[in-house]
Amino acid sequence: MKVPWISKERIALKAMDLIEAFQAVAGYRVKPPIPVEDIIERALGLRLLYEDLEKVFGSNHVLGATYVESGVICINERLFEHSSEGRLVFTCAHEVGHWVLHRRYVDMEETNNSKGEAIVCSLKNAKAPIEWQADHFAACLLMPEKEIREAFDKVCNSEPIIIKNAMSRVNMGARCDEPFVEQWPFIAAAMCEAGGFSNVSKQAMIIRLQDLGLLINKTSTEMNWQTLCSNVNV
Ligand SMILES: [Zn+2]
């Protein structure tokens, strides 16, 4: 499905609007961990279901689906088997992103998937603009900028972390008193602890820090589990 371009700032504002709407309904001030399931059911009035989406869609790449006409968010229950709480919660928040940002673009008559009017999220189309937008919404909802910066002040005294070293370069004159790129899980874990982001994965946290310019990776090694050195004990 094609959707119009929308700025990161606007997506962040939409996520903050939703938190405010939930606070008005719930009657208390929300702080991390952000209660996404409650937001789905109480602020948006949607039903949240866990189903075997591999059976529903005949594909093992589907993470979640948002049914616009019936007001249902469905998460693949198989995520319980092989994913962390962080991955599960992020998928819920991602579907909320589709509901907030994209439901108006669903053409009820043209869709022909098995349940009609669904936005279906598959690993296969993870790089499509619609998926990127929902991912950014999820990050902004689960890790609001204000709370991230407050936690970062506690952990790092406000100064952005600039990572220039990879362990593979340790014998090539890299300085050992500066952080290595392979140590990113420790930085992410410290942030989750300091800010109470207990339902956020380390991977999502490290992406958010880079997105806000609080962590700058100048190495050619990406900060993800695939590129992590096998000799780093995390
Ligand atoms: Zn999606």
pLDDT in the model for residue 126: 86
- Biggest alpha carbon distance in the chain? 62
The rounded Å distance from CA 230 to ligand 1 centre is 31
The answer to whether 73 and 64 have CB atoms below 8 angstroms apart is: yes
pLDDT tens readout for residues 110-134: 555 545 578 999 888 888 999 999 9
Per-residue b or e along 55-88, where b marks 16 or more CB atoms closer than 10 Å to that residue's CB: ebbeeeebbbbbbbeeebbbbbebbeeebeebeb
The rounded Å distance from CA 60 to ligand 1 centre is 15
Interaxial angle between packed helices 129-142 and 8-26, expressed in degrees from 0 to 180 and rounded to the nearest 10: 50
Q: For the domain 8-142, what is the CATH code?
A: 1.10.10.2910
CATH 1.10.10.2910 residue spans of the chain: 8-142
- pLDDT value at 178 more than 60: yes
- pLDDT value at 198 more than 80: yes
pLDDT in the model for residue 2: 85
pLDDT tens readout for residues 32-84: 999 999 999 999 999 999 999 989 998 888 999 999 999 999 999 998 887 78
pLDDT in the model for residue 233: 44
Q: What is the mean pLDDT of residues 3-32?
A: 97
The rounded Å distance from CA 98 to ligand 1 centre is 6
> What's the whole-model pTM score?
0.91
The rounded Å distance from CA 122 to ligand 1 centre is 7
The rounded Å distance from CA 225 to ligand 1 centre is 22
